[in-house]
Chains A and B, each alone.
Chain A
């Protein structure tokens, strides 16, 4: 396992994320059907397949991979996830230079969270993907500050995102179309928090294999 993550890691991350999002397509659709329009799994699957197609010839560097993810998701997804993840990966790309060490991992997660907050105008506790990205950033930061590796930072981020996703279940939605359901949105996991968790887990898995 190498301490810094290169373009090969970024490609493995995104391909791994595509595979796991495809596997979870129906789960994500079902979660979105409960409190939304039922297309989150389909949208992420379609978007990530297009991304992987565009990355077939590789990319120059980590930033290049993240930029392709951003522009492709923005164009292809169609639902709210397009501009949200598109902006997330765009800001993550802007925060990345060269290979990724632990601070670089923090910068990627911070950039993603900043993009999602700028685009969706949500804060924590509103039953959105922010409830996974925000604790993920705190966890990644803690690892970097205590001298951990990029792989450890992504693993901690993924675990915190997963816990954050669990914590969305009892919440009442106050953003997006789920908010129209009021109290009926309670008792369901936010689908965006699960796709976030899967994406961060794929980053950690690829980093541990790098």
Chain B
């Protein structure tokens, strides 16, 4: 089962840009941007995150989610709250710096890392101690 990434940012442009950047080194990894609110403002959208997760799961992927700021993380955690125990084995939040984390996570997914490896890579701890 391949691992896909959902990039959650307050800014739609930032989410798209991170996806663009991460895709460069991870051509076969499914990357989804979930940036901005439903009506195009700065912020995060429960529905955008939830829809991305639902679609990727339906396509058979495990899903790692990365965020830019604390309130994006709260949105992601709200989405995770609605998943059952079994789903939570397949959908995980990776708490790291967004750009470095997304690149590291995407590369790890590209080379066949499992969800836990991708989530660990996304934390980018070797960069920030």
Q: Measuring CB to CB, which residues of chain A are less than 8 angstroms from any residue of chain B?
A: 37, 39, 43, 74-80, 82-84, 86-87, 119-120, 175-177
Are A78 and B78 CB-contacts (below 8 A) given A43-B43, A83-B46, A176-B71?
A: no
Chain B residues with CB under 8 Å of chain A are 37-38, 41-47, 69-71, 74-75, 77-78, 81
Pick from B69, B75, B81: contact of A82, CB under 8 Å: B75
List A contacts of B47 (CB < 8 A). 75
Residues of B within 8 A of A177 (CB): 69-70
Taking A74-B46, A75-B47 as contacts, is the C-beta distance between A83 and B38 under 8 angstroms? no
Closest B-chain residue to A43, C-beta based?
A: B43
Question: For residue A43, which residues in chain B have a CB less than 8 angstroms away from its CB?
Answer: 43
Known interface pairs A75-B38, A177-B69, A177-B70. Does A83 touch B43 (Cβ–Cβ under 8 Å)? no
Whole-angstrom distance between the alpha carbons of A177 and B41 in the complex?
18
B52 → A minimal CB distance (Å): 14
CA distance A119 to B81 in the complex (A): 10
Report if A83-B70 is in contact (Cβ < 8 Å); known contacts: A75-B46, A77-B43, A78-B44: no
Q: Is the CB of B74 within 8 A of A78?
A: no
Docked-complex contact A75 and B74, CB < 8 angstroms: no
Judge whether B38 and A119 touch: CB under 8 Å.
no
Could you jot down 24 A-B contacts, CB within 8 Å? Answer: A37-B42, A39-B42, A39-B43, A74-B78, A75-B38, A78-B41, A78-B42, A78-B44, A78-B45, A82-B71, A82-B75, A82-B78, A83-B46, A83-B71, A83-B77, A84-B74, A86-B78, A87-B81, A119-B77, A120-B74, A175-B70, A176-B70, A177-B69, A177-B70
Contact of B70 with A80 in the complex, beta carbons under 8 Å: yes
**In the complex, A37→B43 CA distance in Å?**
10
Complex Cα gap A131–B71 (Å)? 18
In the complex formed, the residue of A with least CB distance to B70 is: A176
Contact B70 A82 (CB under 8 A): no
